[in-house]
Structure 1
Amino acid sequence: MDTNSLCFGTCAKCTGGVYGAAQGCQAMGQVYHDSCFTCCVCGQKLKGKAFYEFSGQVFCEEDYLYSSVKHFAEVCTSCGYLITDMVLQALGKSFHPDCFRCFICNEKLEGQPFSVDTQNKIYCVKDYHRILAQTCAICEQLILPTKGSNEIVRVMSMGKSYHVTCYEGKSYI
């Protein structure tokens, strides 16, 4: 059977039938005629080339990166560069996954628990507790989460911080 006579689907742009593998391409889960899969700005054919979809329109790489479209695209809060693939959203901001890192140790925090200080600096939990943990007024050790937890439990009294066990063991009579 001649593959040029087979219908591979309906073109997502013009709704005409796409006959023959040489006449069409598949992108974004849809079928297009080669002549229909083009940049919405310059009209360049995009089969086999890098392209970007934004707000339902398809752009060649040059028009996406260097035209006014980039003003609507996500910009990484950390490095300031345009995010052209995966966006990590945290704290109401956008990041490249590789740019979302601990302020102290530079560990990647994608998919990891993290904490933020009063100046919105991002920390891995370990560094946050190590740098910002309070010191117990009785034993003078850092008040850190118990093993297996990320939560700090402390007693505040008279402007000082205490481990629960240190505070309970102190007599106030």
Structure 2
Amino acid sequence: MTERYDCHYCKESLFGKKYVLREDNPYCVKCYESLYSNTCEECKKPIGCNSRDLSYKDRHWHEDCFHCFQCKRSLVDKPFSTKDEQLLCTECYSNEYSSKCHECKKTIMPGSRKMEHKGNSWHETCFTCQRCQQPIGTKSFIPKDNHNYCVPCYEKQFAMQCVHCKKPITTGGVTYHDQPWHKDCFLCTGCKQQLSGQRFTSRDDFAYCLNCFCNLYAKKCASCTSPISGLGGSKYISFEERQWHNDCFNCKKCSVSLVGRGFLTDRDDILCPECGKDI
């Protein structure tokens, strides 16, 4: 007696009929399509056993339904993009959504290299130096007046030259006596330390840090012998070609401050009237 070979679901005989195996179980075509066929995203009908099932991100289409949402051309075996869950051919997607080149105004196709700067996009070959017209690529550049320049061209055309080293100043220069300097070139005449960002003064048109200027040119306090800079509005006392810091102008004996008060002298010493009444 011949063994029966029935549909796993409806139990009807499959002898002489088409069937589909799923997990080693046979199903008649009708049952298989009813139980397991995917629904087409486009026409909402089941994708039967005799149809090609095209899938993308857990969504399914009949082969004839797998086309561009806008131009309706078939996307079978062709590159495509998606926008808001709609399928689009590369051309329609580019025309509708891709960036436009800031220079030539043409579409920058998906997958092609593009350059971006401050919200604008360029084809790689369109992103060129305004002066030499060479592609900038990934090299450094400097924008000016809505144009982009490679660094060598910018320096030749626009950059000021440092009065010290004669080389272009591209960033963060210093102006002294109406002349441009690199920060690294603007140094103290005495100690050669960089002056940018700190207080300094000058003598005979040469710049000095405060320490060097005081050590070289400032008068010395008659009491502590340290330099009196007089810079920045600091006060000092001067008497008979001698100078004192305000804080050093004190009675030699009792150390009371004599600033704004009468005083007496005893050779090189200064005394308050009380201590000097016996001299």
TM-score scaled by length of structure 2: 0.46
Match of 2:227 among 113, 120, 143: 143
Could you list the per-position Cα deviations for residues 59-92 of structure 1 after superposition, in whole angstroms to 9, with x for gaps in the alignment?
23443344xx1xx4221132221113x2223434
Deviation at 1:25, TM superposition (A): 0.9
- CA RMSD in angstroms comes to 3.6
Q: How does 1:88-99 map to 2 (within 5 A)?
A: 88-91=173-176, 92-99=178-185
Whole-angstrom distance in 2 between the partners of 1:141 and 1:166: 12
Deviation at 1:106, TM superposition (A): 1.3
Whole-angstrom distance in 1 between the partners of 2:98 and 2:233: 56
Match for residue 249 of structure 2? 166
Structure 2: stretches of 5+ with no match in the other structure: 1-79, 82-89, 251-257, 266-272, 274-279
The structure in which a higher percent of residues are strand is 2
Match for residue 207 of structure 2? 122
Match of 1:36 among 126, 133, 137: 126
> Which amino acid in structure 2 is aligned with residue 98 of structure 1?
D
Q: How does 1:50-61 map to 2 (within 5 A)?
A: 50-61=140-151
Q: 1:83 to 1:132 in 2, by over 3 A?
A: same
> Which amino acid in structure 2 is aligned with residue 49 of structure 1?
K
Match for residue 187 of structure 2? 101
Aligned residues: 163
* Pair 1:45-2:135 in alignment: yes
> Which amino acid in structure 2 is aligned with residue 99 of structure 1?
C
Could you list the per-position Cα deviations for residues 90-137 of structure 1 after superposition, in whole angstroms to 9, with x for gaps in the alignment?
4344322221222111112333x221213332222222222222123x
Aligned to 1:80, the other structure's residue is in SS state coil
* Pair 1:64-2:154 in alignment: yes
Whole-angstrom distance in 2 between the partners of 1:95 and 1:107: 14
Q: Which is greater in Rg?
A: 2
Contact 1:114 1:122 in 2 (8 A): no
Whole-angstrom distance in 1 between the partners of 2:245 and 2:192: 30
Q: 1:40 to 1:152 in 2, by over 3 A?
A: same
Whole-angstrom distance in 1 between the partners of 2:209 and 2:217: 12
Contact 2:115 2:122 in 1 (8 A): yes
Structure 1: stretches of 5+ with no match in the other structure: none
TM-score scaled by length of structure 1: 0.68
